[in-house]
Amino acid sequence: MNTSEIRQKYLDYFAQRGHAVVPRSNIVPKEDPTTLFTGSGMQPMVPYLLGEDHPKGNRIVDSQTCFRAEDIDEVGDNRHTTFFEMLGNWSLGDYFKKEQLPWFWEFLTKEVGLDPKRLYVTTFIGDEKNSIPKDTEAAEIWKGLFKEVGIEAQVAEIGSEEDGYKRGVKDGERIFYYDAKKNWWSRAGVPENMPAGEPGGPDSEVFYEFTDVEHDPKWGEHCHPNCDCGRFLEIGNSVFMQYQKQADGSFKELPQLNVDFGGGLERIGMAALDTNDIFRLDNMWPIIEKLQELSGKKYEDHVEAKRVIADHLRAVVWLANDGVVPSNTKQGYVMRRFARRAIRRGLELGIYQDMFKHVAGVVVEIYRSAYPEMVENLAEIVRVLDAEEKLFRQTLKKGLKEFNKLVNDKKALDGETIFRLYDTNGFPTELTIEEAEAREIPVEKDWEKVFDREMKAQKERSRTAAAGMFKGGLQDNSEIVTRYHTATHLMYRALKNILGDHVTQRGSNITHERARFDFSHHEKMTPEQIKAVEDMVNEAIVKDYPVSFMEMPTDKAFESGAIGAFGDKYGDKVKVYTVGDPDGDWYSREICGGPHVTHTGEIGKFKIVKEESSSAGVRRIKAVIE
C-alpha cells in the first residue's frame, strides 16, 4: 500500500465515523505570527483544542503538510525528513480513549494490514508529585485489543528513557509505561513547566518493530520502544487533553475532554512496506530515481547525499507551492538555505545545472491527485526555483572572487569571515573550508563556535516575532490601517490591469504609516506604469465605490472573478469583498477577511513612494495615503 492509498483510507475511515474532512492549512501559518512554519498537525487546531468552536463540528480529520527546519541536520539517515504529512483526527469534547485507541488499532491492522505482532504501545506512568494518576485505562484498552488477536500482552513499567536502555524489553511485553518526558503532552512540555490555565494530558504512542534491524549499543545497552537505534519506529500518538493546571499548581480534570491524534503518513507507509528507509516510499523514491538519472550515479553509492538532496528538493517545492519565495529573511531565508544546500550537494554528484527544472515536476506528479493545486502552480514553482538556482550558481562564482579578497592577507581563516561569506554571499561553509585547504590556508580551531554565534544572531533577526511582522499582514484594525488595507485591494486590481493577469499577490504588510505589497512580476516597473497604477487607484477612490462582502462557496467565489493571494489555502466557504456594484459593474473582487472601509472615498489620496525588487521574480511597492 502506498502513501496516497494510506492517506485516502485514513480520511475515509474517520469520515465514516462522523468526522468532517477539512483541507490542510498553509505551511506558513496565516494566523500565528509567533512561528515561521506549520510544524505539526495539531498546530492549526490549537484554538479549537482550547475551547473555540470549530465550524465543522466536534469530530475533525485531515492530513496536514508540515515543515520542520530544525530537523535539517538529521536528514541523511534513513528516517528523518524536513517535510512530512501528519494524519490527524480530533475529538473536541466528544469521544475519548475507549473510542480512539480501538479505531487507530483497527485502522493499522485492518485497513493498512500491519501485523499486530510487530506493534508495541506506550502510555503514561503517572506523576505522584503532581497527583496525576497512572493511565491504567489506556493500558487496559490496549490489553484487550491485543487479546482479540491472540496476543497476551504483558505490561512493563519503564519510567525514563534512560531506564529503558538499562532494562530493555522482556518476552511477552507489549505495553510500556513511560514518564512525562515521553508520554505527556502540553505546549509547555512536562507538568512542572506548564503555566496556570494550560491544558495537557497523557498520551499513548504506537510503535512498529523492524525485526531485521539489529540494536546499535551506541544508544544504550538494551533496546526498547523509545530507543533511537531504528528498530522501533513511532507511527502514531493519541494525546488525551484531560487536565488543566490551576493557579495553585494542582491539576484539575477539564470539563471538555479532547483527543488530539497525530500519525506520520510516511512512517505508517514505512511500516506498511516493512522498510526502515523512508526514501524508498512512493512519495520519495521517484525523486531519488530522477537524481540517479541526472547524475548517472546509483543511490546505493551516494546514499547520504541523495537523501539530503531529495528531502530538500521536496521541501522547497512545497514551500514554493504555498507562496514562499527565497529571500534573506524569515521563511524565505530558510527556503533559500535549503535550496542552496541541495544545489551544493548536487555538485558532489555532478549535477551542474537545471536541477529544480527537472525535479519540481516529479514532486508535483507525486502529489497531483491529493493536492491538485500543485499542478496549477507548477509553472510558478519552476520559475521561482529555477531563478534561485541560476542566482546561486552565479553566487558560487562571485563567492570565489570574494573569498580571494577576504582571505588574501589573512594568516588563518576565522569564523567571522566564514560566516560573512555564507551570509552575505551565500557561499557554503563546506566550499569555504575546501577552498582554504586547497590553498593551504589554516582554519582557526574555534571557527565553528564563532560561526554558530553569528548564525544564532542572524536567526534571531529572522524570527517571525520580530517587530513589523503582523497578524494577517496588518498592524491592527484601526481606521488608518483599514483605509490602507482597502487601498491595497484597489492597487492589486490596478496592477493586474496595467501589468497583466500574471500579477499575483505574494505578501503584504500594513502599518499606520504605509502599505507594503509584494507581487509576482519579472521586471522593474517603468515610471509610466507606476503613474498609471497610481492614477487608476485614485480614480477608483474619487468614484467613491461602495465596498461590500458576502460569504460564498470557494469554487463559486473564483467563478465570480474573485482573486486571492498565491499560496493561500481556503476552506469550503470564503468571504469575498467587492469594490463597486456586486451585481453589476464592479471594480475589484477579492477573497479576504477584512477589515475594509464602506466606501472608497474614505481612503484619501493614494501615492506610490517606492517600487523595488523583493526577491527573484517578485516586486515590492510601498505606498502612502495623503
Share the mean pLDDT of the chain. Answer: 88
Per-residue pLDDT band at 467 (split at 50, 70, 90): very low
Task: Report pTM.
Answer: 0.69
Q: What residue type is 578 in one-letter code?
A: T
Average pLDDT over residues 443-455: 87
C-alpha to C-alpha distance for 127 and 371, rounded to whole angstroms:
43
Instruction: Provide CB contacts within 8 A for 80, sequence distance 6+.
Output: 71, 74, 278
Cα pseudo-dihedral 76, 223, 151, 157, rounded to 10 = -120
What are the φ/ψ torsions at residue 93 (nearest 5 degrees)? 80, 20
How many Cα neighbours within 13 Å face the side chain of 619? Answer: 19
Is residue 285 pLDDT above 80, yes or no?
A: yes
| 121-130, 517-526, 560-569: least confident range | 560-569
Average pLDDT over residues 556-581: 79
Per-residue pLDDT band at 223 (split at 50, 70, 90): very high
Question: In the structure grid, which three cell numbers stand for residue 487, read together?
Answer: 487601498
Per the CATH hierarchy, to which homologous superfamily does domain 471-625 belong? Threonyl-trna Synthetase; Chain A, domain 2 (3.30.980.10)
C-alpha to C-alpha distance for 111 and 42, rounded to whole angstroms:
23
The 8-class DSSP code of residue 77 comes to B
Task: Give the bridge partners for 92, in sequence order.
Answer: 258
Is residue 200 pLDDT above 70, yes or no?
A: yes
Is residue 98 pLDDT above 90, yes or no?
A: yes
| Residue ranges covered by each domain of the chain | 3-276, 285-462, 471-625
Average pLDDT over residues 98-112: 97
Which of the two residues, 618 and 52, has the higher pLDDT score? 618
What is the C-alpha end-to-end distance of the chain, expressed in Å? 62
- 598 touches 531 (CB < 8 A): no
Cα pseudo-dihedral 578, 581, 584, 588, rounded to 10 = -30
CATH of domain 3-276: 3.30.930.10
Backbone Cα Rg of the chain: 27
Is residue 423 pLDDT above 80, yes or no?
A: no
The H or E element spanning position 620 is strand 618-625
Summarised one tens digit per residue, pLDDT across range 14-43 is: 999 999 999 998 888 876 666 788 878 777
Q: Would strands 199-209 and 184-185 be described as parallel, antiparallel, or unpaired?
A: antiparallel
Q: Would strands 59-67 and 232-245 be described as parallel, antiparallel, or unpaired?
A: unpaired
Q: Would strands 586-591 and 573-580 be described as parallel, antiparallel, or unpaired?
A: antiparallel
Q: DSSP alpha helices (H): ranges in 256-302?
A: 265-273, 285-295
| 187-191, 304-308, 473-477: least confident range | 473-477
Per-residue pLDDT band at 133 (split at 50, 70, 90): very high
Q: Is 13 exposed, middle or buried (0-12, 13-18, 19+ CB in 10 A)?
A: buried
Average pLDDT over residues 396-425: 80
Instruction: Provide CB contacts within 8 A for 481, sequence distance 6+.
Output: 474, 475, 510, 511, 512, 595
C-alpha to C-alpha distance for 580 and 544, rounded to whole angstroms:
9
C-alpha to C-alpha distance for 93 and 98, rounded to whole angstroms:
14
Q: Which of 267, 262, 273 is nearest to 2 (CA)?
A: 273
Q: What percent of the chain has pLDDT over 90?
A: 53
The H or E element spanning position 62 is strand 59-67
C-alpha to C-alpha distance for 77 and 167, rounded to whole angstroms:
26
pLDDT at 471: 42
Q: What percent of the chain has pLDDT over 70?
A: 95
- According to the 3-state scheme, what is the secondary structure of 559-610? HCCCECECCCCCCCEEEEEEEECCCCCEEEEEECCCCCCCEHHHCCCEEEEE
Per mean pLDDT, which of 98-112, 309-323, 371-385 is the most reliable?
Answer: 98-112
Q: Which of 367, 369, 424, 378 is nearest to 401 (CA)?
A: 424
The 8-class DSSP code of residue 79 comes to S
Is residue 161 pLDDT above 50, yes or no?
A: yes
Question: In the structure grid, which three cell numbers stand for residue 459, read together?
Answer: 536567526
C-alpha to C-alpha distance for 209 and 417, rounded to whole angstroms:
47
Is residue 567 pLDDT above 70, yes or no?
A: no
Average pLDDT over residues 97-115: 97
Compute the Cα dihedral for 495, 496, 499, 503 and give only its sign.
positive
C-alpha to C-alpha distance for 29 and 419, rounded to whole angstroms:
30
